[in-house]
Each structure stands twice: as C-alpha cells, then as structure tokens.
A and B are shown apart, each in its own frame.
Chain A
Amino acid sequence: MRTRTEESANYHSVFIDGKTLRFQIDPDRPITELRFPEFYDVGINTWCGGRCSYCYTDAKAAGVHFPQIAAKIQQFFGAMNLNERPYQVALGGSGEATAHPEFTAALQAFRELDIIPNYTTNGMHLSDPVLDATIEYCGGVAVSCHPHLERHWRDAIRKLCQLKIKLNLHVVVSDRESIQQLTALFQEYQPLVDYFVILPYMTAGRAAKRPIDFQALEAWVDSVQDFGNIAFGSNLFEFLGDKARWDLSLYPPEIMSKYLIMDDGLSLYNNSFQMKRVHRP
C-alpha cells in the first residue's frame, strides 16, 4: 500500500492492490491539478509497425526508439521522493512500446522505483521475454483492438489470459459499425477482461475526419447491465457530462496525469493527443 498527499491540491490518495482511491481533504473543495501527477503516460518511441491509417500520434515504421530509457527513468522519477512519485505509468502513448529494445529494462527500472508499469500494445511483439517481464514487473496490459490487426490482438489476448495478466481492451469508437464491433467484443471477452476502455476516434496525427455516433454509443452503454467493466477515455469528458445515470466520477481531465516523452529533453505534455507543453515539476 502507498499513499500520496498534496494539501495544496486538496488531494489524498491510497494505492492498494493496483487500485487507486482518491479523497478530498476538504469535502467542500474540489481536487485541483496535482503538482506531481499520480500517473504518467510515457512515450518511449515513435516506432510502430501497425500501419493504422488513423493513428493519432502518427507512429510509423520510420519512427525511432528513444535511447537510454532506463537511465532516463532513473533521472526523471528517481529524483522524486515517494510522495511525489506516481503510482503507475502507462507505456505506449507514442509508439509500440513492446518493440523498443530496452522495453523490459524500462519495466524493471520503473518497478525498482516502486512505480507500477502498465502498457498498451497492438499485440505484434509479445515475445517470451516481454511476457516474462510483464509477469514480473507490470500491473497489467491493454490490447488495442484495431480491426486490421485482428489476428495479432486475438493472439495477444489469448497469451495474456493464459498467463492470468490483468487485461484491458482499448476500443476506438466512431461510426455505428465500430460500436457494433464493440458490442461483439464485449460479448465475447467480458469474462476475461478487466475493462473495456472506450476511446473516441480522434482527428489528429494522420487520422482523417470521421464523425462519432454518440447516440449509438449512449444506447449501447445504456443496454449494458453491469457498468463495472467499462471505462471511458478522458476525451469523452464532455459527452459524459450529463450521464449521471452511469455513476461516473468526473473530474477535469489531466489534473491527475501528464504525458512524458522520453526524448533527450524529457518533454512533458498535458496528454498524448493535444500535446500542450507543460512545465516539469
């Protein structure tokens, strides 16, 4: 169990069994933006062989793997005390993290700092060393269910389930057809998956404009009996604003998290899709 407190942000939290419970110190004041984020999305490369036409970070096979990752992790997070250090990090915001030659070393470096690493993958590079390191160091894994990479993500789900690794599925929703795919995935994998993380299609990077059928998404969520398996991306914040019936705890996006790129400058941004530069704490 770990705890963190930032009195100036009216924030106290407890991290137990991989879960974070957050509390307001003064119940009549909101939690404000944390000086030291509770979790980071960490980009360790811009390389990806998935060739998604709609990639919002524009990752590609011509991308790079940032060097000296383990040392940079020590440099950035090792300088923090335990109250300042995040509970968890999510790797994979800028490219396919598992393809990075230093990937397992990065997982180990985080764990040695008492930070739980998790990652998102398209499932194309889940080798035995990666899976072994996942078991040893990670809290869990998210598999992105890109329609054109079905063979890979189905294989990844099978491997991760066999190893009893906590599993999320990331599903990008846009038109009615994508919500039908979400419905089918939910029916097929619900017993095996911790969360179906619903992420809206984003017109960023090399992604062409495509409308999101919010009506169909709302109807689908309403049809689900138990919301315990569903999570929403922060850029669905506005859509979720009037959905009190779904028992969501909404708070301004990015007050708890930041996006760190492990380039030479260790650049910090508000998130991985708006990429607004923020000052390091």
Chain B
Amino acid sequence: MDQFLAHAKRTNMRTVLQFHNHSFVDLITNSSSELFVCNSKKSIKAFKRLIEELAAGVSGQVTITPAELFTTIFEEPDVCRVNFDLSQYPKRDEFESFNTYDQYRQNPIYIECQEAVRAYQAANPRPDGKKHTAKWFAKVRELEKPFDERQRATEMAMYRWAFEVNGLPWIYKEGPNYKNNEAFWEQAGPIRTAVSYGYKLKKGQILLLSAGDNSVPWELMEKIENSIPCQRFHLG
C-alpha cells in the first residue's frame, strides 16, 4: 500500500513518547481565570523548556544543546489533533480480522485466497522474462484481490468512523497515489500508527518522536520517563 510509505518512512524504527498532558496554565491572576487556551504555541514552548531543563541535567561526555535537542535527538514536539481509541470502534472485531497481522492470517477469506495462490503457483511456476513475470504477478494479485479489497474496505471504514468521531470532513479521494491524498494521510497517518502499535490518541496530547532510531541517550529517556507521566512506544 504505497500511500502509507511516506508516513511509514517518517516513523519506522523510531520511538514516540506520548505525554499524558492534561492542561496548561500561564500566569494566574485571579481564581476565576483558570481555564486557558490549550495547545497554543505557548504550551509547546513551555514543554520544550521542560525537556531542555531535563536534558541539561543529563551528565555525559557530550553536553546536549537546546539546538540539537529538537533536531538530532527529537523532532519538534507535536500536538495530537484527534481522539482515537480503537476499542470504541463498533466494528473493531471485523476491522482487526482483516487488518492485524495475528488475526488476518486466520481469516477464512485470507486462507482461501492464499490457497488459491498456492494452487496457482504450484501449477504455474514463476516464469522467466519481465513480460511473463508481470503477467504471473498480475494473476497472483487477482487471486489475492477478494481479501485485499475487504482489507482496504474495512480499514477505510475505520478511518471514516474516526473522522466522524472527530468531526473531520471526509477528504479521502479514491486512487492509489499517495500524493492525491496527502491532506488525508496527514490526519489519518497518526491513527494508522496508533493502530499498528496499539496505543490510543487523545486530542491535545503532546507527542515527541525521536529524530532517529536510538537517537535519544538512554539517560535522557530515563530522566524524562521518571519525571513526566508518559508512555514510550517503539515503532519497530
């Protein structure tokens, strides 16, 4: 599914820290002024200062500078724009039977398709030559189609539900090209990652993605996890 590649490339093998942030307040000047606008640039700025403060206390051979903290160690903090909890999806069982690795392999439609593929491959060994190989693969894909179509349909139905729950307009355009749907995947990408790695998303939650695989010194990771309520997910 090539439309996922751009998002997958961005996240694969990295670590995401999901913070359980509740609210942010600035200067309090009156007890009746305690409800402040969340997710503003100011709350992210305060959060970055907090991470900087924790990083400054990390002893090591190399001192982490604020400049590299959000370039080579972490990406810029992101604020989650959607709520998502797969356990609330009314058609969760159906979705998972087509879309989670440990379940779709038990799906009767998948098994049937794979049996048909295996029978075809046994009767028709993979030929030589580009043209013949392309035809052979086309036939294999055709035999896999009943499952692939259901998989895609159930996945898109899940996204449609997630968009509805969040009051987002359905902007997906039919077609295989990722570029046709960049705006859609911008919103759906984090949902897909959350499904893949089994976590929930909460609107307003701060997400901190490592800049690369193992880019966060363990001492800093440990300090953040011990200082601020959060969960770590390795996007392996």
Q: Using CB atoms and an 8 Å cutoff, list the residues of chain A in contact with chain B.
A: 1, 3, 11-12, 14, 16-27, 31, 39-41, 88-90, 92-93, 118-120, 139-142, 166, 168, 170, 194-195, 197, 199, 226-228, 230-237, 240, 244, 246-251, 253-254, 256-259, 271-273
Contact B30 A142 (CB under 8 A): yes
Contact B229 A23 (CB under 8 A): yes
The CA of A16 and the CA of B50, in the complex, are separated in Å by 7
Contact B53 A120 (CB under 8 A): no
The CA of A228 and the CA of B43, in the complex, are separated in Å by 9
B interface size (C-beta, 8 A): 40
Contact B20 A24 (CB under 8 A): yes
Residues of A within 8 A of B26 (CB): 18-20, 194-195, 231
Contact A14 B228 (CB under 8 A): yes
Closest to B41 in A: A228
A3-B227, A14-B228, A228-B42 in contact; A90/B23 too (CB < 8 A)?
no
Contact of A197 among B30, B43, B47, B49 (CB under 8 A): B30
Distance in angstroms from A200 CB to nearest chain B CB is: 9
- Contact pattern, B 19-39, Cβ under 8 Å of A = 1, otherwise 0: 111111111111111111111
The 5 closest A-B pairs by CB, nearest first: A41-B31, A142-B29, A249-B38, A249-B23, A228-B40
Distance in angstroms from A255 CB to nearest chain B CB is: 9
Say yes or no for B153: interface residue by CB 8 A criterion.
Answer: no
Contact A231 B36 (CB under 8 A): yes
Residues of B within 8 A of A142 (CB): 27, 29-30, 33
**26 A–B pairs (Cβ distance < 8 Å), ordered by A:** A16-B50, A16-B53, A17-B46, A18-B26, A19-B26, A20-B26, A21-B47, A22-B24, A23-B20, A88-B27, A89-B28, A90-B33, A120-B29, A140-B29, A166-B27, A194-B26, A231-B35, A233-B30, A233-B32, A234-B33, A236-B35, A244-B167, A246-B37, A248-B38, A253-B34, A272-B30
Closest to B202 in A: A27
The CA of A233 and the CA of B34, in the complex, are separated in Å by 6
Residues of B within 8 A of A119 (CB): 29
Contact A21 B24 (CB under 8 A): yes
| Contact residues, B42-63 vs A (CB, 8 A) | 42-43, 46-47, 49-50, 53
Contact of A140 among B27, B49, B230 (CB under 8 A): B27
Contact A39 B35 (CB under 8 A): no
Residues of B within 8 A of A170 (CB): 29-30, 33
Residues of A within 8 A of B29 (CB): 90, 92, 118-120, 140-142, 168, 170, 197
The CA of A168 and the CA of B46, in the complex, are separated in Å by 18
| Contact residues, B185-236 vs A (CB, 8 A) | 200, 202-204, 227-231
A19-B42, A19-B46 in contact; A233/B22 too (CB < 8 A)?
no
